[in-house]
A and B are shown apart, each in its own frame.
Chain A
């Protein structure tokens, strides 16, 4: 869930040194930049962070969710992640374990504390809302290069004095809720600045704006705030990240059914 910040929502980045870019098609260039952005995140090891989610409806009423997140980098496969829910109070103690695998369906288990039951769940409804928010499960899952096809669009300024690659990506996943996504990613740090989500009918559905980036271990950029606005419903959700820690010593033994139910 954390990895999304750098790798995700549309890793379209260009190398300024790419002389052969002239010969590239827009699709090849889009893919190359996605791979470069992905490579930026290699070696982070593991991360933990706290997330506060604020849901706002059209009338301005808010409700919050608090989730602690742990992610373990897995070389050669998708990451393993564990999400621990602290609020709303009735879901406190619930947790979710996800092994992501690129194009293959994720393995996902849910722990229900009342029954002390670990339940393997399927991933068909990735397009569904995450805890009633404007984020879908697919927006928050680990993002892998092969989950999309890419197309480079243009280079343009995108605030903060940054220059952004603008690109389009189309989900390969057949049950995705989106027909395409368009993203702005800064050319230097591979930081996502903005993503637009288009629904199955092709209308602009949601816009996600990233801010408050911090750099960790001199390399890995993570945003502090992610603001998702739904244009169709007028509802919005803000994610605020805090307490980022890297290389905390987590191992694969912290990502199994036993750890899930502790």
Chain B
């Protein structure tokens, strides 16, 4: 713990003393518009709307890129849902590499895993639940990391001294059940509440074409249990303590990528296992255009069966990734989740393209099809949407 404090003091003094260099500053402003295909299911919910986001970035590297100081604040103003209007420090940290060691302290983000349609082993950062529907947006996590680097792999050890609660859309927001989540009614299994110190470790190793990751997490679950408070008509959150062991594997062939992620998770109330695995197959370049196409298939399994937090209990994801490899960097990813138990389907498409200097166009759409009455996605059945975002980079 002492070293964390030392690091933080050092980081603060560095922040104050480092002279800002123009080329270290960058960032983006985004204007996002959402349109919902159906009328809302629950009272209070709004139809589409506009949203503005700002994410500046300061990154300073020195000593042959061995030392890095980063600061990435984030703010979003949403026209419809006050809960989606929020700010966060995505990153404010210092990384130092020395020989076989690397140290990182501050607020940061860590990604674990290999699969595309679900990130099972990834657990360090809390999901920023108001940002996107795919769960890939994360809140900054205070941490201290120590890494020991070997020739073909790394052992990372993390100490996570503070817990971040998940963000949830408000009563006006879409992508929720009939009862909104109360962001103030929060309880913890640990008596230390959000001051509980979590620990995590991940070992990754490359054996020629095989990349293996073994991970372990011991701390407060990032996923709350939601229980209705019928008196006030909201869901309250309870964060249990959890231990999670994870394994991720990727075999990289010339045209085939084979991927697997699997976890076992223990809490006081329940134990469960889950897995996702599949492949990505790259087709040869299409004609003389230089475009490339990849086909994806991933199978999902969760021992809990139907559960609010586990809609992927016996599901198949089939998708395609198209990269035009043009000057504008045009890319598409489209795919469908199919529930093999009840045939509920979710179709998703994401695309992006540069338009003009420093401007990027992102599109995202999701359509829920034939959702079964018992499927947890029934809650959000009316939330099929199309989203267009313009990002200006500076």
Which residue of chain B has the shortest Cβ distance to A84 in the bound complex? Answer: B65
Residue of A nearest to B113 (CB): A117
**Given A88-B354, A120-B250, A250-B64, does the pair A55, B282 have CB atoms closer than 8 Å?**
no
B92-100, B233-241, B311-319 - the one binding chain A: B92-100
Our pick among A92, A93, A262 for the contact of B65 (Cβ within 8 Å) is A262
- Output the nearest chain A residue to B99 by Cβ-Cβ distance: A253
| A93 vs B255: C-alpha distance when bound (angstroms) | 27
Nearest residue (CB) in A for B393 is: A89
Q: Indicate if the CB atoms of A107 and B284 lie closer than 8 Å.
A: no
Most chain A CB within a 10 A radius of its CB, from B68, B325, B328, B354: B325
**Which residues on A sit within 8 Å (CB–CB) of B113?**
117
Q: Taking A249-B64, A257-B154 as contacts, is the C-beta distance between A132 and B329 under 8 angstroms?
A: yes
On chain B, the residues within 8 Å of A88 by CB distance are 329, 354, 358, 393
- Nearest Cβ on chain A to B350's Cβ, whole angstroms: 13
Nearest-CB distance from A53 to chain B (Å)? 11
- The reply on B270 being an interface residue by CB < 8 A is no
Instruction: Give CA–CA (A145, B255) in the complex, Å.
Output: 24
Contact B290 A128 (CB under 8 A): yes
Instruction: Contact check, A123 vs B254: say whether CB atoms are below 8 A apart.
Output: yes
Complexed CA–CA distance, A232 and B287 (Å): 13
Interface assignment of A28: CB less than 8 Å from any CB of chain B: no
The reply to whether B254 and A105 form a contact with Cβ atoms under 8 Å apart is yes
Q: Are B255's CB and A132's CB within 8 A? A: no
A131 within 8 A of B: yes
- The listed residue (A92, A129, A199) touching B26 by CB distance below 8 A is A92
Residues on B with beta carbons closer than 8 Å to the beta carbon of A90: 28, 329, 354, 358, 360, 391, 393
Residues of chain A within 8 A of B285, CB atoms compared: 125, 127-128, 177
Complex contact A115–B111 (CB within 8 A): yes
Residue of A nearest to B112 (CB): A117
In Å, the complex CA distance between A124 and B147 comes to: 32
Judge if A162 is at the interface, Cβ distance under 8 Å. Answer: no
Number of A-B contacts (CB under 8 A): 107
Indicate if the CB atoms of B284 and A175 lie closer than 8 Å. Answer: yes
Q: Assess the B109–A116 pair: CB atoms within 8 A.
A: yes
Within 8 A of B (CB), among A213-262: 232, 248-250, 252-254, 256-259, 262
Cβ of A122 and Cβ of B255 under 8 Å apart?
yes
Q: B141 → chain A, closest Cβ, in Å? A: 11
Say yes or no: B325 contacts A129, CB within 8 Å: yes
How far, in angstroms, from A92 to B357 measured CA to CA in the complex? 14
**Per-position 1/0 for B113-147, Cβ under 8 A of A:** 11000000000000000000000100000000001
Give the CA-CA distance A1 to B284 in the complex, in Å. Answer: 23
* Bitwise interface map of B from 258 to 292 toward A, beta carbon under 8 Å scored 1, else 0: 00000000000000000000000010110010111
Distance to closest chain A CB from B94 (angstroms): 11
Q: Which of A89, A93, A132, A257 contacts B394 (CB 8 A)?
A: A89
Q: Which of B97, B206, B282 contacts A124 (CB 8 A)?
A: B282
Interface pair A262/B284, CB less than 8 Å apart: no
Query: Is A262 a contact partner of B68 (Cβ separation < 8 A)?
Result: yes
Q: Which residues of B contact A258 (CB under 8 A)?
A: 97, 102, 147, 149, 154
CB of A207 within 8 Å of the partner chain: no
Q: Is A124 within 8 A of B326, CB to CB?
A: no
Interface residue B195 (Cβ < 8 Å from any Cβ of A)? no
Q: How far is the CB of A96 from chain B (nearest CB, A)?
A: 14
Residue of A nearest to B26 (CB): A92
Asked if residues B360 and A132 are in contact (CB atoms below 8 Å), the reply is no
A83 to B297, CA, bound (A): 30
Q: Report the nearest B residue to A235, measured CB to CB.
A: B327
B204 proximity list for chain A (CB < 8 A): 257
Of B28, B109, B328, which one neighbours A132 at CB under 8 angstroms? Answer: B328
Distance to closest chain B CB from A55 (angstroms): 6
Q: Is A21 an interface residue (CB 8 A)?
A: no
Contact of B151 among A117, A122, A125, A252 (CB under 8 A): A252
Let me know if B47 is at the binding interface, CB within 8 A: no
A120 to B254, CA, bound (A): 12
In the bound assembly, the distance between CA atoms of A127 and B327 in angstroms comes to 16
A79 to B103, CA, bound (A): 27
Given that A89-B393, A253-B149, A262-B68 are known contacts, is A125 also in contact with B250, CB under 8 Å in the complex? Answer: no
CB of B358 within 8 A of CB of A89, answer: yes
Mark interface residues in B58-80 (1 if CB within 8 Å of A CB, else 0). 01010011101000000000000
**Complex contact B68–A128 (CB within 8 A):** no
Given the known A-B contacts A129-B325, A232-B288, A256-B154, are A122 and B252 also in contact in the complex, defined by CB atoms under 8 Å? Answer: yes
Which B positions have Cβ atoms within 8 angstroms of A? 26, 28, 59, 61, 64-66, 68, 95, 97, 99-100, 102, 109-111, 113-114, 136, 147, 149, 151, 154, 204, 206, 211, 250, 252-257, 282, 284-285, 288, 290-292, 325-329, 354, 357-358, 360, 391, 393-394
Give chain A's interface residues, CB within 8 Å of chain B: 55, 57, 63, 88-93, 105, 107, 115-125, 127-129, 131-132, 136, 175, 177, 199, 232, 248-250, 252-254, 256-259, 262
The 5 closest A-B pairs by CB, nearest first: A89-B393, A132-B327, A129-B290, A117-B111, A129-B325
In the complex, 26 of the A-B residue pairs with CB atoms within 8 angstroms, ordered by the A residue number, are: A57-B327, A63-B327, A89-B28, A89-B358, A90-B354, A91-B329, A93-B59, A105-B254, A107-B206, A117-B113, A120-B250, A120-B252, A122-B252, A122-B255, A124-B255, A132-B325, A132-B327, A136-B290, A177-B285, A248-B64, A252-B151, A253-B100, A256-B154, A258-B149, A259-B97, A262-B66
Given A89-B358, A262-B65, 16 more A-B residue pairs with CB atoms under 8 Å apart are A57-B327, A90-B391, A115-B136, A116-B111, A120-B257, A122-B253, A125-B292, A128-B285, A128-B292, A129-B326, A232-B288, A248-B64, A252-B151, A253-B99, A253-B149, A257-B204
